[in-house]
Amino acid sequence: MKTTLWKMTLLLGIGIAPTAVSEDLAAVIQASFSDRGQATLLRLEQDPLQQHCSQPRDQPVDDEIAMALRQQRLDAVVFPADGDFLGDWQRGATVAASGRGLQFNDDPSIANGGNCYACHQLAPSEVAYGTLGPSLTQYGLRGQSDAMLRYTWTKLWDTHAFNLCSHMPRFGAQKILDEQQLKDVMAFLLDPNSSVNQPTE
C-alpha cells in the first residue's frame, strides 16, 4: 500500500497525470511531499497565524485581523507554573548552540535545540552567529524586573504576541522547547554571570 501510494505520488509528480496548476495551493503542496520520519504531511496544514503570515511583505495586511491574532497569541502564553523564570544559564547555552531537532533526519528521542545562534549574536566569544535576528549580546543589562521576565518569556514562547509575523519560531507554543529548556535559555539571556553578559573585547 505504501509503495503504491509512493509510486502514485511519483507518477503525478513527474507528469504522467494531467498537471494543470491547481487553484488550491494547499492541495498542490500536499501532493508534492510525502511523509518522512517524524515529518508528516500534517505539518503542511496551516494554522490561522501561518495562513495570515504567508503574504509577501509588500502586501497590505488587515489591521483588525492582525490585532485580533496578536491578542489571541498573547492570551495563550503559558507562564512557568512555579513562577520561577530562570533556570541554569550553562544548560541554556547548550540549548542555544544546538540546531538539531524536528528535521526528518533527526532522532525524535533526543532533545531539540533552540538554534539561537543561527539568527542571533549571543555570547561575544561565539563568532559563528547569524544576523537574521538582532544581536542579543549584553541582553542581561535590561535587568530582571517582573516586566522583563514576562516580556522575555513571551518572546520565547510566542514571538507573535508582540511582533506578528516575526520570522522567529514559537518555541513554547509549538512545543519546540520544554518549560525547563525555556527557563535555561531565560537564564542564558538574563543571568549576570552568563557568557551572553560578559564584556565584549
Partner 1 sequence: MITRWCLLWLAFPAWADEGVFDQYRDLMGDDNPAIFVIDEGEEFWYQSQGPSGATLEACDLGLGAGVTRGAYAQFPRYFADTDRVMDIETRLIHCMETLQGRDRTVTAAKPYSLRGDFGTELEALVTWLAAESEGVVIAPEQGHLKERAMYALGEEIFFYRAGPHDFSCATCHEQSDKRIRLQQLPNLTDHHDAADAYGSWPAYRMSQGLVRTMGWRLQDCFRQQRWPGLTFGSEVSIALQTYMAVNAAGGIMTAPGLKR
- Based on CB atoms, which residue is closest to partner 1, 89 or 117? 117
Phi then psi for 39, rounded to 5 degrees? -90, 95
| Short-list 140, 139, 89, 94, CA closest to 117 | 94
- Based on CB atoms, which residue is closest to partner 1, 124 or 144? 124
- Based on CB atoms, which residue is closest to partner 1, 110 or 147? 110
Please list every residue from 50 through 109 that binds partner 1, using CB under 8 A: 50, 53-57, 102-105
| Short-list 17, 47, 60, 64, CA closest to 158 | 47
Cα R_g (the chain), whole angstroms: 20
Strand partners, 36: 39
- Grid cell listed for 56: 509577501
- Grid cell listed for 149: 521576565
- Based on CB atoms, which residue is closest to partner 1, 42 or 81? 42
Candidates 74-82, 128-136, 147-155, 193-201: pick the segment binding partner 1 (CB under 8 A). 128-136
Applying CB under 8 A, the site for partner 1 has a residue count of 55
Candidates 3-11, 68-76, 88-96, 138-146: pick the segment binding partner 1 (CB under 8 A). 3-11
Q: Which of 28, 67, 78, 147 binds partner 1 (CB under 8 A)?
A: 28
CA distances for 40 relative to 33, 37, 77, 102, 168, angstroms: 9, 7, 26, 11, 22
CA 90 from chain centre, in angstroms, equals 21
Please list every residue from 136 through 175 that binds partner 1, using CB under 8 A: 167, 169-170, 174-175
Residues in contact with partner 1 by CB under 8 A are 7, 9-15, 18-22, 25, 28-29, 31-36, 39-41, 43-46, 49-50, 53-57, 102-105, 117-119, 127-132, 167, 169-170, 174-176
